[in-house]
Each structure stands twice: as structure tokens, then as C-alpha cells.
Amino acid sequence: MSDHTSEPAAAPDTSGLPGPVRLRVAPSPTGDPHVGTAYMSLFNLAFARQQGGRFLLRIEDTDRARFREDSEQQVFDTLRWLGLGWDEGPDVGGPCAPYRQSERLTTYRPYVERLLADGHAYRCWCSTERLAEMRADQQACKQPTGYDRLCLGKSEEERRALPGFSETPVVRMRVPDDVDLAFEDLIRGRLTAPRPDDQVILKADGFPTYHLAVVVDDHEMGITHVVRGEEWISSTPKHVLLYRWLGLTPPAFAHMPLLRNENKSKISKRKNPEARLTWFEEQGYLPEALVNFLGLLAYPPAQDADGNDVEVFGFEDFVARFDWREVNPVGPIFDLKKLDWLNGVHLRALEPQDFTSRLLPFLQRDGVLGAAPSLGELGRLEQVAALIQTRIAHLTEATELVAPFYVADDAVEVAADARAQLKDDAPAVLDAAADALAALPDEHEGLLGSEPTFRAEAIEAALRGAVVDGLGIKPKFAFGPLRTAVSGRRVSPPLFESMEILGKTSTLARLAALRATL
């Protein structure tokens, strides 16, 4: 094998690319985006922003067998939902376009030809059947699996004379026996990986494999730091080899720990719904809560003046204190209970109007409100939202609490568990409450423009007098039938405030409707 290396034809000058550092995330559009894409994007973007650099999104779509057309748009949508935007990419352009590997096929060929000419790569005509038999034999003999170099040094004619020939060859890199397997990692220090076999770098369909494409693209896009999961540690010596053979300067490497379940297994989309990035939006998580959560994975929280952990923070806080040396290489546990807690904290911190606007899409999705709600419906939603903001941990939980405020008074559906907890005194409670509320002034009795008089304070005083004092029922039991009548649920927003929002007429109608069924 020749030791000669030279630059590939028309090698790009990357010195003029913007940004003192350039980082990228490069997902494959093979299904719903993995939560790991957001995890990697957060750490890449944090460092890029801290250093005043650039963050790129590249779509690695060379796996045509698993390619899914809608997946790319899901990547765009979910990362933007999280606020993890990019400076260059397929949809925004940039100086290194195109940013889809399938649109860069002519880019890779000169690099392959240079590797072939320098003896660092060779064509392989082995059929898939022959390779499968080879691996089976190696496994049966308990040998390491890897290509046996049958095609190395043979012409097409020489190889054709042997069994297991395929008309369309692949190209393999020729890994030397004395390959250097050590490299420096920003997180883990000096690492040593297992010796690779002669990896395929160009497939029979003309598409490059990940190993070639990632080296070429990262070089041509001026990537200074490659941040990826620890599963790629074993591939890094191959990539360092390719950089060396092509006369290119390798980037710095940082291999992030993998996200793990509580049983320490790797999170997978096949087994874990939360591995799908789209799942979090569907389940009513706030994007800022998920970013906060991802920032706590593999990274220590800040501490306040008293030495207490500060676990609630925003993206800018994370950027300000980011340091690769602080990343914990041990695989973090993906604790959904922690995420639920964070989501509740972030929900309660929203401004009322913001919280209301976040609820609206979920209420529309569930049919509580239409596509174009009226001003009156939106006004009522603001009132109801104020009652439930401290009572939910996910936006999806709002539907059950809000829906009773948008149904006809005679159409309130009483849940089975709510009806089952009604006691024998429920009719008396409903009758006494109805009489007490009927005696209150109407909503706007008095001068035009006066304050409404059917208010929570007056409602509470009237009901306590009629039910607690009048019937002698303990407060914790007194209002169950009224809650059921108003909302149809055992658990609802605060009762007296709910009655105020509904108004006197609707409240009395709902009490009467439940009373009629007892």
C-alpha cells in the first residue's frame, strides 16, 4: 500500500466559512425523530452559541431502504418547537449547500477515486450471500467477524472466476495492520477503540456509507467539533484514518453518553414511546421544560449561593456555564418523573395569557373548542385557565377540566366515579344549594356597567351557610354533589370560582339537572 496522500481534486477552501467554531447535528430521516437528536442538538448548539460559532443541520439520507419522506419535516418541526434553531441547513441554505447527503453524491466520488488511486481502498465484488456465509463460518469458529479480503489485490476478471461474485462492486477502505486506534475525546480524554475491519465506504447503489460521507461532509462544511453518541467511539479510528489518508485536518471529537432507561438499557423507539421526539409535544410537555430536562442529562446543575442545586433553568443559562469537561460520561437515566416535575414548574411560571394560548391547540384537537373560537369562548378560556394553571402537569390534562365549561347545561356528562361517590344526602345538598344561590342577586343586578354580583366570595358564603351550617355536613363532604353537578367530575377546578364563571343561570340549571336524576 502506498504511503502517498494528496488532496482530492477541487478540495474546498473551508477557511473562509463563518464562525470560529462550527458544529452540526446530522439525523437520518428513517422515522419519527429520536429524542437523542434533540439531546445532541442542545449540546452542539450550546457550545456553538457560547463561542459565537455556527450550528448546522445536515440530513444524512443515504440509507434509502429505511428512508421516510415525512421524517425530514418532523426533524425541522420538532427542533424548531424546542427552540433549537440552526444557522445553516436544507431549508435555510448556507455557504455549504446542499445539506442533504442524497444531493451531494457527486461530492463523494473524487474522494473515493483518490483513496483507490493511493491504495487506501479497493473494490469488492463479493455477493451478499457470500458475505453471509463468511460471517456464519466465522461465528461458528468463534472468530472475530470481518471481511476476509478475498477481493483485495484482484482485478474484476480474477475475482469473477471465484464463487460469490456480484456484478456491481462496493468500495472498501484498506485498514492497515498497524492502524493507530487511539484518539483524544473532549469528554473522555484519550480513548482506544477496537481494530476495525475493511469497512465499506461506497455502496453498490453509488451512495456513500456513513463513514465516508461524514468525513467528507464535515470537512467540506468546516466542522470543527463532532459531537455524537458514544456508540460511534468504535468508528472514530476509521474516520481519523480517512482524514489522514485524504490529507485533511480532523475535527475535535466529543462522544456523549447514551440516554438509558431505569433498567440501564438504551432508549429505543421500538420499545419506548418517549424515544420519539414528537411524543413530547403530543403529551403536552412544554418545549422549555424538555430542553431544561435534556440539559440536566449528563451535565451537573448550577448551584446557588448556599450550595443547593439549581435544576430549573433556561437555554441561555445552560449556554453561559457550558464546559465539555463537566459532561458526565456515564449514561444518564431518562427519568420521566423528573421531567413531569419540571414541566409542572415551567407551566406554573407561564404568564396567564401565554398559558391560555398553549392550551388552545390541545382543546381544539380534543373538540372542546372549534377551529375559530369566538371572543366569548376565548374570554371564558382565560378565566378557566387561571383556575387550572397550578393543577396540571401536562397540557393534555386541561381537556377534562375545561370541557364542562363549553357544554350545554343539560348535557353535562356525569362520570361514573363521580356519581358513585354521591351519598344519600345529595338531594338535600342540591336543594339547599339551589335555594341559597337563587337568593343571591343576579349577575349584573343594579346599574348598567356595575360589577357582577354572582361572585365566588358571595357564592361560598351562601353555600357554607346553607349546606355546612344549615345541614350540618362537614366541609370536606358538603360540596361533592355540587362539584359533580357543575363539572360532572369528582375532580374539577375550584368550585365557587367555577360557578362564578358559569354564572347564576347555568349553575342553577346544572344543579337542577343532576337533582332530577336522583
Residues annotated as catalytic are 269
- Among the listed residues 335, 344, 253, the one whose alpha carbon sits nearest the alpha carbon of residue 296: 335
Q: Amino acid identity, residue 373?
A: P
Q: Indicate the annotated binding residues for ATP.
A: 269
CB atoms within 10 A of CB 213: 23
Taking each helix axis from N to C end, the angle separating 105-117 and 210-220, rounded to the nearest 10 degrees, works out to 110
Residue 297 vs residues 82, 120, 260, 326, 334: alpha-carbon distances, Å: 16, 40, 10, 11, 8
Beta-carbon contacts of 288 under 8 Å, excluding residues fewer than 6 positions away, are 83, 314, 315, 346
Based on its alpha-carbon atoms, the radius of gyration of the chain, rounded to whole angstroms, reads: 32
In angstroms, the CA 327 to CA 296 distance is 10
CB atoms within 10 A of CB 39: 26
Beta strands in 230-320 (DSSP E): 252-256, 302-303, 309-310
State the residue for C-alpha cell 459531537: 227
Q: Amino acid identity, residue 314?
A: G
In angstroms, the CA 469 to CA 467 distance is 6
Q: Indicate the annotated binding residues.
A: 269
In angstroms, the CA 404 to CA 111 distance is 65
Beta bridge mates, 229 = 256
Question: Which cell is 251 given?
Answer: 475535527
In 177-211, which positions are buried (b, 16+ CB within 10 angstroms) versus exposed (e)? eeeebebebbbeeebebeebbbbbbbbeeebbbbb
Q: Is it true that the peptide bond before 352 is cis, omega within 30 degrees of 0?
A: no
Longest dimension (CA), the chain: 104
Question: Which cell is 278 given?
Answer: 414528537
Residue 361 three-state SS: helix
In angstroms, the CA 101 to CA 203 distance is 14
